[in-house]
């Protein structure tokens, strides 16, 4: 008898809870994209530099290269 009463109360509680907290379907929103220019996208980013080396007539030269903007910085320097 106690068992039936316990089961009835559990079922009743579950039904009441499903009525109090109904399930809703959530739909994903499409991503919003804003076109950003190259100048705006590089704000806060540090440039990356690397030394490039070459040998001419047994002498070694170096020159700084900017990897971020793909350009040379300065002239060739004899090492």
What are the extents of the domains in the chain? Answer: 45-79
| More confidently predicted of 45 and 46 | 46
The average pLDDT across 26-52 equals 73
Buried b (16+ CB within 10 A) or exposed e, 29-38: eeeeeeeeee
Greatest mean pLDDT among 6-10, 32-36, 41-45: 6-10
CA distance 23 to 26: 10
The three-state secondary structure class of 78 is strand
| Residue 62 φ/ψ region, left for φ over 0, alpha for ψ in the -120 to 50 degree band, beta for the rest | beta
When pLDDT is cut at 50, 70 and 90, the band that residue 40 belongs to is low
Q: Whole-model pTM above 0.75?
A: no
């Amino acid at each position: 008898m106690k068992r039936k009463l316990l089961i009835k109360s559990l079922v009743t509680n579950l039904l009441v809870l499903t009525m109090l907290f109904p399930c809703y379907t959530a739909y994903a929103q499409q991503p919003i994209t804003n076109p950003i220019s190259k100048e705006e996208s590089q704000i806060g980013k540090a440039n990356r530099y690397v030394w490039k080396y070459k040998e001419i007539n047994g002498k070694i030269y170096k020159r700084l290269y900017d990897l971020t903007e793909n350009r040379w910085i300065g002239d060739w320097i004899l090492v």
